[in-house]
Amino acid sequence: MMQRKKIGMIGVPMDMGQQRRGVDMGPSAIRYAGVVERLEELGFDIEDIGDLEIGRREKTIVERSNLRNLKAVLEANELLHEKVSEVIKQGMFPLIFGGDHSIAMGTLAGVAEHHKNLGVIWYDAHGDLNTEETSPSGNIHGMPLAVSLGLGHPSLTNIGGYSPKVKPENIVIIGARALDDGEKQLIKEMGIKTYTMHEVDRLGMTKVMEETIAYLKDKTDGVHLSLDLDGLDPDDAPGVGTPVAGGLSYRESHLAMEMLAESNIITSAEFVEVNPILDEKNRTAQVAVALMGSLFGEKLL
């Protein structure tokens, strides 16, 4: 990862993968929390590509489909796919800021094009493995991992013109504690490696990350980190749309990022679901930026 000293930052002010407003201001909040300065201090050359233009919310759910804002979410993710792919072609490390987690569909479409065997670390309270059949809400931000596996609405699974983006055996979910029945079934059926909060508590974060890195290191040719701030406990990251009590701590998350930095396996990353409207004095965006610092090699000593 660190061979690429240039980072291409892309903001995706998307709030249409779910119903609560405000997460579209996430990229601004992250920039305001000093991300550019933080990473420049670590010796990186930053190219801030700015924010993608996102369409408008749709008044109705698409006919014959349980999906909210399908057209706008699809268009934004097609655009994101192109931007991410462009950043990689220019030899930069793609760092994407959300917005809601539906943007992972576009990110993964752009990243996976450049890898034969992409690994994915899904750091999240949720599995995001729903399809329109299993989703209780029709919110697309609960579907991006399923879509990237080739499951779901064909227009979404074919973003970038190919499917799937990732294989189930190349995924590790960390921090899960709110899984729907359909998602639990899918994890078992597909054998997706998952560390719920039970495993994190039982094994400790050091062991979880050692196992994750060992699991992905030799069989992948790059690893994408998709970090949802609701993976952290709401006490540490209050500004998220779907907070779930009993989450990963601030310090556990730093340890995870520090170990990923040492392992040198991460080739792209996104930080999503920062909602400044629900936040306290931009705390959650500050947490996101601090975690990025650790991911890119910042040390305490």
42-78 confidence digits (pLDDT tens)? 999 999 999 999 887 776 555 556 788 999 999 999 9
Phi, psi (5° rounding) for residue 272?
-130, 170
Kindly state whether residue 1 falls inside one of the protein's structural domains: no
Which of the residue ranges 17-26, 38-47, 52-61, 288-297 would you say has the lowest mean pLDDT?
Answer: 52-61
Domain count, the chain: 1
Which residue range(s) make up the domain with 34? 6-295
pLDDT at 4: 58
Q: What is the mean pLDDT of residues 231-259?
A: 97
pTM of the predicted model over 0.85: yes
Q: How many helices (H) and strands (E) does the chain have?
A: 11, 8
Phi, psi (5° rounding) for residue 99?
65, 165
Q: What is the mean pLDDT of residues 174-184?
A: 97
Alpha helices in 13-103 (DSSP H): 26-32, 35-41, 70-89
| pLDDT over threshold 60, residue 3 | no
Q: What is the mean pLDDT of residues 223-252?
A: 97
Beta bridge partners of 9: 48, 95
Q: What is the chain's Cα-based Rg?
A: 17
pLDDT at 171: 99
3-state secondary structure of 98: strand
pLDDT at 263: 98
pLDDT at 68: 86
More confident residue, 98 or 18: 98
Task: Residue 162: give its domain's CATH number.
Answer: 3.40.800.10
Using 50, 70 and 90 to split pLDDT, how confident is the model at 17?
A: confident
Kindly state whether residue 274 falls inside one of the protein's structural domains: yes
Cβ distance 43 to 126 under 8 Å? Answer: no
More confident residue, 243 or 19: 243
pLDDT at 142: 94
pLDDT at 20: 83
Q: What is the mean pLDDT of residues 203-231?
A: 98
Kindly state whether residue 301 falls inside one of the protein's structural domains: no
3-state secondary structure of 104: helix
| pLDDT over threshold 90, residue 120 | yes
Kindly state whether residue 133 falls inside one of the protein's structural domains: yes
Residue type, 26: G
Residue type, 216: L
- Average model confidence (pLDDT) for the chain? 95
* Alpha carbon distance, N-terminus to C-terminus of the chain: 21
pLDDT digits (tens, 9 = 90+) for 132-163: 888 888 899 999 999 999 999 999 999 999 99
Kindly state whether residue 300 falls inside one of the protein's structural domains: no
pLDDT at 157: 98
Cα 223 from Cα 127, distance rounded (Å): 18
pLDDT at 18: 86
Q: What is the mean pLDDT of residues 180-188?
A: 97
- Active site amino acids: 101, 124, 126, 128, 141, 228, 230, 273
| pLDDT over threshold 60, residue 30 | yes
Total Cβ atoms within 10 A of residue 182: 17
